[in-house]
Amino acid sequence: MVPRILLPLLLLLLIACNPSPKKPAASEPETWIQLFNGKDLDDWIIKINKHPLGENFNNTFRVRDGMMVTSYDAYENFDGEFGHIFYKTPFSHYKLRVEYRIVGEQVPGGAGWAYRNSGVMFHARPPEEMLVDQEFPVSLEAQFLGGSGEGERPTGNLCTPGTHVVIGGELVTRHCTNSTSATYHGEEWVRFELVVYGDSLIHHIVEGDTVLTYSKPRIGGELPEGFPLPEGTPVTSGYIALQAESHPFEFRKVELLDLSR
């Protein structure tokens, strides 16, 4: 038995040998990169079909009221001038957040499928590689669609120009796959998020809901003349590009969280 006079000393020794556990360090705040700065298009590269790299035909892409917009007020008629504006840096593992809305009317000459239609291309080949008469980059596309006021027309779909993916363990070679998102008929803002893990897993998220998941993107299907990679090559990284397909769109946020670091 320990004498009572030694109990306080023993208690102090026990405390010294068993210090209070340290509180876990607070996690570092996420650092999002603002791909669009709300002021200009200096960090972006424009490629419009039928026109050389860097030519912003008819001022299709512009900044207005702090937003990046695709505009057709200088067009009399649309004749296949599908446009893409690429961010200057490629990425592999990231979260991308885009807030967009569809406004106004489609320009005369636009295809029926391009009505209220745009999207974000990702894992895209370099813009310098596109041919003058190439309509779309080899890439994956998260498609942005708006409704006509009737029926269902989901957004956040997947289209695959020059690529294939795996869904549910099966290779998918069709061009487009619909998501499970709601339909947005008006001119409201829609928040779209993309979670990309290289050539592994990819998620499409609309207004906080995961609406499509797939994996193992690879080169496949119809490819431009002289394309440098063989079919089946894994697509592990690439450029991000917003589309202009004949209907006016506004983008108020384009930001990215790099997950590769």
pLDDT tens-digit profile of 47-65? 999 999 999 999 999 999 9
Mean residue pLDDT of the chain comes to 92
pLDDT of residue 28: 66
Would you say the pTM of this structure is higher than 0.85? yes
Residue 19 clears pLDDT 60, i.e. is over it: no
N-term to C-term CA, the chain: 58
Structure tokens that stand for 182 in this block: 């709601």
Residue 34 clears pLDDT 60, i.e. is over it: yes
CA atoms of 106 and 165, how far apart (whole Å): 31
Give tens-digit pLDDT for 114-165: 999 999 999 999 999 999 999 999 999 999 999 999 999 999 999 999 999 9
Residue 33 clears pLDDT 90, i.e. is over it: yes
CA atoms of 111 and 108, how far apart (whole Å): 9
CA atoms of 68 and 91, how far apart (whole Å): 21
Task: Let me know: does 188 contact 206? Beta carbons within 8 Å.
Answer: no
* Ramachandran category for residue 225: left, alpha or beta (phi over 0 → left; psi -120 to 50 → alpha): beta
Give tens-digit pLDDT for 206-249: 999 999 999 999 999 999 999 999 999 999 999 999 999 999 99
What ranges make up the beta strands (E) of 49-151?
61-64, 67-70, 83-87, 93-102, 117-124, 140-145
pLDDT of residue 26: 55
Percent of the chain with pLDDT over 70: 89
Q: Which residue type does 120 have? A: V
Q: Which residue, chain included where needed, has tokens 């291309």?
A: 121
Beta bridge partners of 250: 69, 101
pLDDT (mean) for 165-169 = 97
Beta bridge partners of 87: 44
Structure tokens that stand for 12 in this block: 């102090």
